[in-house]
Structure 1
């Protein structure tokens, strides 16, 4: 039981670390392999920013899971330059980063933090293949 709690808390701690580090205005993309607990850093560029903006615009619902952090898969943190205003029926806020969660056997979804640092998990109706290709990542 303790082991399960410990392993479940690692991705959550990673997400909080991502949020804290984001306040330092990083311009690199961070890719976490959840199972290996390994982070790869990738420089961002305008093409990645454009693809990320397209994905954010395709938010179509909220994630309805009790624990939205998977045991296997990837988490990609992408800083947004400039910050992006999101307005939909669930949240209206300015974000300076988006976190894309890519579970091993499910569709990817997004995590954003609002102005009050409250997390919001969203499903998207678009594929992220173009972004992954732009990032030169094959999952």
Structure 2
């Protein structure tokens, strides 16, 4: 059994920060679950271009408000607590927060813990 407390992750190497986001990685590839689990903050004042060509991601908003833009269709969807979206086709998208958003994110394949977005908005392919 794996038990972790978010309070023990904040400020460690499992608390990864990028421009406009903070990802507290709760479960990683090394945990052997087949997915990684993240408690992610999307900060106000940044428009994030994300395009996970090497991963599938499901995201559940638990705090804050913002929006997601599907770059392929131009559709904008409001995000608020209770909304989930799944990038089941490696969807190219933009995220922007009107209020700091807190998201629960699941990645498959799981991340190792050190990943940050490259210039295309992707995480590198899994090496494990």
**TM-score between the two structures when normalised by the length of structure 1:** 0.27
The answer to which structure, 1 or 2, has the higher relative contact order (CA under 8 A, 6+ apart) is 2
Q: Point out the structure with the larger strand share.
A: 2
**TM-score between the two structures when normalised by the length of structure 2:** 0.29
